[in-house]
Amino acid sequence: MEKETLEQKVKSIIEQLRPYLQQDGGDIEFVELTPENIVNVRLQGACGTCPHAKLTLKAGVEAMLVEKLPEIKGVYDVDLGF
């Protein structure tokens, strides 16, 4: 069996989180994994305009990714600037 790359693992975790965001009318799109292990994403739908987007991104998405993949240094929304 072929080992998953870090990017594949990140995408898999994001896919697991998407239904929770979609329940509230939002979504998340993987953009890239930087060489510094920063995950760039784009919050969409209701998440893109929600006042709690930063909390969702940092306490939800980033916390889950870092917990499961300690080599990840952070998550950044390319449109919202955090």
Residue 57 belongs to a domain with what CATH number?
A: 3.30.300.130
Provide the pLDDT for residue 3: 60
Answer whether residue 71 is part of any domain: yes
Rounded-to-integer distance, Cα 77 and Cα 28, Å: 9
Query: Is residue 59 one of the residues assigned to a domain?
Result: yes
Q: Averaged over 23-33, what is the pLDDT?
A: 94
Q: Is the pLDDT of residue 12 over 70?
A: yes
In this structure, is residue 73 part of a structural domain? yes
> Does residue 69 lie in a domain region?
yes
CB 75 within 8 A of CB 57: yes
Residue 82 lies in a domain: no
- Number of structural domains the chain divides into: 1
pLDDT surpasses 50 at 1: no
> Which structural domain range is residue 57 located in?
6-77
pLDDT recorded at residue 82: 84
53 found inside a domain:
yes
CB 74 within 8 A of CB 80: no
pLDDT digits (tens, 9 = 90+) for 46-72: 888 888 888 889 999 999 999 999 999
Q: How far apart are CA 44 and CA 50, in angstroms?
A: 10
Predicted local distance difference test score (pLDDT) of residue 19: 95
Q: Is the pLDDT of residue 2 over 70?
A: no
Q: Does 1 map to a domain?
A: no
Q: Which residues of 2-11 are buried (b: 16+ CB within 10 A; e: fewer)?
A: eeeeeeebbe
